């Protein structure tokens, strides 16, 4: 059957694929739109396989909270080039996945990929389809969800870094404090909320490094353990969120800043995703 420009444009609007790709798909499908979509999807799958060894280090990181501020999601969709990452269509595509995540609140990236993107494709299948449209490897590399009395999102300009922070109070004064803490997390990259959240392997490594440094500095072996523990406490102060000096006022810690905002206010969870 004859393939009209209108048919090609309709398929292009439906899939986002290029004009020639749409025309060729319609010709191959004898004008059947459903089959043509599958042809484009199969093309995407082939390109995905072909580009499987390429590095997808660019992309976008987005965080967003629900209207009531009690839930937030954060995810990273990688691509290969900065050119694609800055494209409005790519930004909109990533946002559409964030919207699905926020509506359905899957627990893991795999659960998110399995969700319907529309009435025909899952999120994972839509990503594969977009590989064919864009011509680059795409990878939903990280995803997380936080539930708390108050969840605050921060998206750093350029969308290569984003954070989510959950707080134990939803009162009116908490939102701005939460934003400050979310920005602190972006800037200082803490490894845990407090020292209780630091894994045993990290602690053991810091103690061993501290001991070795003390010995190299000529300190007696019997003092090395004590010196190492002192260095471990400094490590906690610099790398755990509540103990860090507040970047906007380094005379107080984040714990003290939160307490001054509202008595008993603290962080229950946080996530930080970055492309670098």
**pLDDT tens per residue across span 239-268:** 999 999 999 999 999 999 999 999 999 999
Element (H, E) at 77: strand 71-79
Residue 1: the pLDDT is 67
d(CA 184, CA 164): 11
> pTM for the whole thing?
0.84
Residue 203: the pLDDT is 93
d(CA 45, CA 130): 9
Which residues of the chain are modeled with pLDDT < 50?
none
d(CA 58, CA 80): 5
d(CA 93, CA 34): 21
CATH 1.10.8.10 describes domain 5-50: yes
Element (H, E) at 162: strand 161-167
Percent of the chain predicted with pLDDT > 90? 72
d(CA 112, CA 146): 15
Residue 197: the pLDDT is 96
CB atoms within 10 A of CB 26: 23
Residue 150: the pLDDT is 98
Q: May I ask the CATH architecture of the domain 58-147? A: 2-Layer Sandwich (3.30)
The domains of the chain are located at 5-50, 58-147
pLDDT digits (tens, 9 = 90+) for 77-125: 999 999 999 999 999 999 999 999 999 999 999 999 999 999 989 999 9
Report residue 133 as tokens.
Answer: 């449209």
Q: Are 224 and 136 in contact (CB under 8 A)?
A: no
């Amino acid at each position: 059957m004859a393939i009209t420009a209108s048919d090609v444009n309709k398929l292009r609007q439906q899939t986002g694929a290029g004009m020639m790709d749409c025309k060729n798909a319609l010709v191959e499908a004898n004008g059947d739109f459903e089959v043509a979509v599958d042809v484009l999807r199969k093309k995407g799958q082939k390109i995905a396989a072909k580009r499987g060894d390429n590095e997808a280090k660019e992309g976008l990181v987005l965080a967003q909270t629900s209207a009531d501020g009690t839930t937030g999601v954060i995810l990273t969709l990688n691509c290969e080039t900065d050119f694609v990452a800055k494209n409005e269509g790519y930004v909109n595509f990533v946002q559409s996945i964030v919207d699905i995540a926020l509506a359905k609140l899957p627990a893991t990236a795999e659960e998110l990929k399995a969700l319907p993107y529309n009435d025909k494709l899952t999120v994972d299948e839509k990503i594969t389809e977009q590989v064919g449209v864009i011509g680059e490897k795409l990878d939903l590399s990280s995803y997380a969800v936080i539930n708390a009395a108050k969840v605050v999102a921060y998206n750093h300009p350029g969308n290569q870094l984003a954070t989510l922070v959950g707080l134990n109070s939803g009162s009116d004064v908490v939102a701005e404090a939460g934003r400050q803490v979310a920005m602190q997390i972006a800037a200082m990259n803490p490894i845990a909320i407090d020292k209780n959240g630091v894994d045993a392997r990290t602690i053991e490594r810091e103690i061993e490094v501290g001991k070795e440094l003390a010995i190299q500095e000529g300190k007696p072996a019997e003092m090395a353990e004590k010196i190492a523990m002192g260095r471990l406490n400094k490590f906690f102060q610099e790398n755990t969120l509540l103990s860090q000096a507040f970047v906007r006022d380094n005379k107080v810690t984040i714990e003290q800043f939160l307490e001054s905002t509202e008595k008993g206010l603290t962080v229950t969870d946080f996530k930080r995703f970055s492309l670098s």
